[in-house]
Amino acid sequence: MTIKVKLRQKAISGSRKSLYLDFYPPIPHPETGEPTRREFLGFYILEKPKNPIDKQHNKETMQLAEQIRQKRENHINKPEIYTGYEKEQLKIKERGETNFVEYFKALADKRKASNHDNWISAFSYLKNFTGGVLKFADLNEKFCNDFKEYLLTTKSNKSSKTILSQNSAVSYFNKVKAALKQAYKDGYLPDDLNKKVEPVKTAETQRNFLTIEELNQLIKTDCQNLLLKNAALFSALTGLRFSDIQKLVWGEIEFIKGQGYYIKYTQQKTKGVEMLPISEQAYTLLGERKAATDNVFAGLTYSAYSNKHLYQWIGAAGISKDITFHCFRHTFATLQLSNGTDIYTVSKMLGHRELKTTQVYAKVIDQTKRAAADKIKLEF
């Protein structure tokens, strides 16, 4: 059945006439689903134009209203004549009513391991800021900048007494930017809002590391969790992250005659494929070789319980530094640079995509040299 769409006028205050579309037979209302015959356009014309400006206003308004009437009639009766662009714009308008917070949660649920936890933390702050509801149509630069300011000033969910750290704010805001980028690709946003929004600036952090003497002391010190001890020392000898050590399988470890042992793996964080040479000492920490699909460090988990064992082991070795598992990776980078390995090689061994990421360790070396130089003092 063909639906007729007429442009009609209704007298309103101020000697004006409101313009609306009249449908016959009625069509479902886009929000309620109930049959309706009217769609007000939000335009008006002057009942008695007094001058050329008023007449021009009436003329342009009627032309625009007629264009809308024509499109609505085509959309209802002949949807096939709509251009691809017009159809895409209609889809974007419909998707604009979708809840961005729920969309963000769906993206978070697709992540794995520690990356999933980071996304869920970001979701928690986004939900608190928005109340759990934010239409895509309401997303703009102002919202993004307001949320950025919120992250930089809000209390940490872990402790109501402390402000969320800047680098946590960096991480969480980057997750929102990633979601905006994906939303643009998925057709929920008409523009790439991610490109218009500046990220939170990263604050320089103190990267704690162990000296070679402290590492040797840890080797001599018992740890209640031997698997954790071997994995930590393996990180110090290879520079591998916890996530990469945890998923390492025997099939990724190769021996090339005349060259030694290598690990061929895909980085958990960057997804980059790496071929990493490892020392004989590092290989001895792996234990008896098993099936290709078996995990090398089977049973290795990241938890408060395993962290407790790590802290107890560090303390028992007489080390007072604040050392986490990731510090063993810092230790590898710092000791390599201290012993003359060039920064480009260290960068490749760490799997960094950009050299500037590795340059942070060079700053640590400079500070260490300065501290060493200041230790020699003469009495003048």
Backbone angles phi, psi at 335, to 5 degrees: -70, -35
Predicted pLDDT of residue 111: 87
Coil vs helix vs strand at 75: helix
Can you tell me whether residue 256 is helix, strand or coil? Answer: strand
What is the crossing angle of helices 166-185 and 141-153, to 10°?
Answer: 160
Q: Are 291 and 298 in contact (CB under 8 A)?
A: no
Q: What is the pLDDT of residue 271?
A: 63
* Model pLDDT, residue 371: 64
Which residues, other chains included, contact 125 with Cβ-Cβ below 8 Å and sequence gap of 6+?
150, 151, 154, 157, 164, 172
Half-sphere exposure at residue 2, Cβ-oriented, CA atoms within 13 angstroms: 6
Nearest residue to 235 via CA among 317, 333, 156, 165: 333
Distances (CA, A) of 292 to 191, 249, 280: 47, 6, 20
Give residue 107's pLDDT.
93
From the list 267, 287, 290, 264, the residue with the least C-alpha distance to 275 is 264
CA distance 136 to 98: 6
pTM for the whole thing?
Answer: 0.51
* Longest pairwise C-alpha distance within the chain: 105
The pLDDT assigned to 116 comes to: 86
- pLDDT given at position 229: 95
Predicted pLDDT of residue 325: 92
DSSP state of 293: T
CA pair distance 18, 46, nearest whole angstrom: 9
Q: To which H or E segment does residue 141 belong?
A: helix 141-153
Q: What is the pLDDT along the chain (380 residues), one digit of tens a residue?
A: 688 999 999 999 889 999 999 999 888 877 777 888 999 888 889 999 999 889 999 998 999 889 888 888 887 776 555 555 555 666 666 777 889 999 999 999 988 766 888 899 999 999 999 999 999 889 999 999 999 999 999 998 877 778 888 888 999 999 999 999 999 998 888 889 999 999 988 765 567 889 999 999 999 999 999 999 999 999 999 999 998 899 999 999 999 888 899 998 776 565 666 788 999 999 999 999 999 999 999 999 888 888 899 999 999 999 998 899 999 999 998 898 888 888 888 888 888 877 777 777 777 677 666 666 666 666 65
Which residues make Cβ contacts (< 8 Å) with residue 226, sequence separation at least 6? none
Determine the pLDDT at residue 206. 63
Tokens 């408060």 locate to: 304
**Angstrom distance (rounded) from CA 294 to CA 289:** 9
**Which helix (H) or strand (E) covers residue 77, if one does?**
helix 52-77
Q: Sheet containing 4-12: give its strands across.
A: 4-12, 16-28, 35-46
pLDDT of residue 167: 84
Q: How many CA atoms lie within 13 A of 203 on its CB side?
A: 10
**Does residue 46 contact residue 19 with C-beta atoms inside 8 Å?**
no
Cβ-based neighbours of 158, under 8 Å, separated by 6 or more: none
For the chain, report the end-to-end CA distance as a whole number of angstroms: 105
Rounded Cα gap, residues 325 and 307, in angstroms = 8
Nearest-angstrom CA–CA distance, 115 and 242: 13
pLDDT at 147: 95
Residue type, 313: W
Sign of CA dihedral 84, 89, 94, 95: positive
DSSP structure string for 334-364? HHHHHTT--HHHHHHHHT-SSHHHHHHHHHH
Report d(CA 52, CA 71) in Å as an integer: 29
Which residue is listed with tokens 């007449």?
A: 55
pLDDT at 375 (0 to 100): 63
